[in-house]
Amino acid sequence: MGIKETLPNNGNHSTGSEPATHVVTLVEAVNLALARAMEQDENVVVLGEDVGTNGGVFRATAGLKERFGCKRVMDTPLAEALIAGISVGMAAQGLKPVAEIQFMGFAYATFEHIISHAARLRNRTRGRLHCPMVLRTPYGGGIHAPEHHCESTEALFAHIPGLRVVVPSSPTRAYGLLLAAIEDPDPVIFLEPSRIYRMVKQEIRDDGIALPLDTCFTLKAGTDITLISWGACVHETLQAARELDKQGISAEVIDVATLNPIDYATILASVEKTGRCVIIQEAVSHCSVGSEIAAMLAEKGLFFLKAPVGRVNGLDIPMPYFQRENLYMPDVHEIIATAIKTMEYA
């Protein structure tokens, strides 16, 4: 079952031997988690294009090479297939590689190694080998870049048995979920919404405590309608929920967080309570994670529903170049309008 989240309160940095407290952005939380994992386990290594000397395209790995050395923070050639293949080999031999792909649109070159080998290694060897690797990549729109830098194609990875797919939506969840991903004995695709890398800051206690995988986070309780989202769209979803509250509509907000496997029990329990549901995602609607959640609700939650499941998506076209990006992305007004339409059913 999912967990109800209370965001950390601002406070003083800890003193003495207690873990330090930092007020950080999401990308800084990723850096903190990587450093903590590398400090705790010498088998954790980081690799990718420009991750060492330059600290990564978004600076997620800044300072790690200086702290842990070039044998644990490795710059690679511009070759995504090589990065994935080396990571599978490292993982099969006892290391815990955390590989960075600069943008999700470049991750497709990794599919052969990720799908054919990483995801199948435990099954293929009947449990003799496993593949404790993490593939990190920024993804999603909103950064005014060409389309292959801004895609939301998480469903491609979520479709594959044997792959965990995790998407943080805040600094707190980025820190805890990345630690959990690194500790997981099987491969994890860790998708970092680049639009919110530096959107907000939260206070994080750098204590090395992981958050649970395969679990939804209930960010706001409600009684009238369930709003389901993940990644960057969680921020617009929470804004819409607050506006709906002002109109007398009590919206529950669920952050799915792990897209494979999905915590359907939490979603079903929420929809049983509210009777209505809207799914918000940046990805296209066709064959998407949102489609799968809607299908599950039709199969297992039909008699809970008082209205058809609403969906707010990106358009079923390639991400337009940055001048028209805002027309593609779901926004607060669209979420509110879809929720109100869903509430109008008797």
Per-residue pLDDT tens digits for 295-330: 999 999 999 999 999 999 998 888 777 667 778 889
pLDDT of residue 8: 41
Mean pLDDT of 15-42: 92
Query: For the purposes of burial, counting CB atoms within 10 Å of the CB of 303, is it exposed (0-12), middle (13-18) or buried (19 or more)?
Result: exposed
DSSP 246-308: HTT--EEEEE--EEES--HHHHHHHHHHHS-EEEEEEEESTT-HHHHHHHHHHHHSGGG-SSP
Measured at the CA of 42, the angle between CA 121 and CA 122, to 5 degrees, comes to: 10
Tokens linked to 57: 């395209």
| Residue 9 in this model has a pLDDT that exceeds 60 | no
Mark whether 117 is an active-site residue.
Answer: no
| Residue 90 in this model has a pLDDT that exceeds 70 | yes
Among all chains, which residue has been given the structure tokens 């090395």? 208
| Residue of 73, 39, 38 lying closest to 56 (CA atoms) | 73
Do residues 195 and 141 touch, judged by C-beta distance below 8 A?
yes
Question: How do beta strands 44-48 and 251-255 pair?
Answer: unpaired
Distance from C-alpha of 346 to C-alpha of 334, rounded to nearest angstrom: 21
Q: Does domain 19-205 have CATH number 1.10.645.10?
A: no
Domain chopping of the chain, boundaries: 19-205, 217-343
Select which of 149, 235, 286, 333 is catalytic: 149
5 confidence band (pLDDT: 50, 70, 90): low
Measured at the CA of 154, the angle between CA 86 and CA 55, to 5 degrees, comes to: 50
pLDDT of residue 2: 74
Q: Is 217-343 in the same CATH topology as 19-205?
A: yes
Quote the pTM value: 0.94
Q: What is the chain's Cα-based Rg?
A: 20
Please name every residue paired with 310 in a beta bridge, in sequence order, or none if there are none. 278
- What kind of architecture, by CATH, is found in domain 217-343? 3-Layer(aba) Sandwich (3.40)
Residue 261, preceding bond cis, omega within 30 degrees? Answer: yes
**For residue 72, how far is the Cα from the chain centroid?**
25
Tokens linked to 325: 């990006």
Higher confidence at residue 149 or residue 154? 154
Whole-angstrom CA distances from 81 to 76, 114, 190, 328 are: 11, 9, 17, 30
DSSP 154-174: HHHHHTSTT-EEE---SHHHH
pLDDT per position as a tens digit, 219-254 = 999 999 999 999 999 999 999 999 999 999 999 999
Least confident of 12-16, 245-249, 310-314, 331-335: 12-16
- Average per-residue pLDDT for the chain: 93
10 confidence band (pLDDT: 50, 70, 90): very low
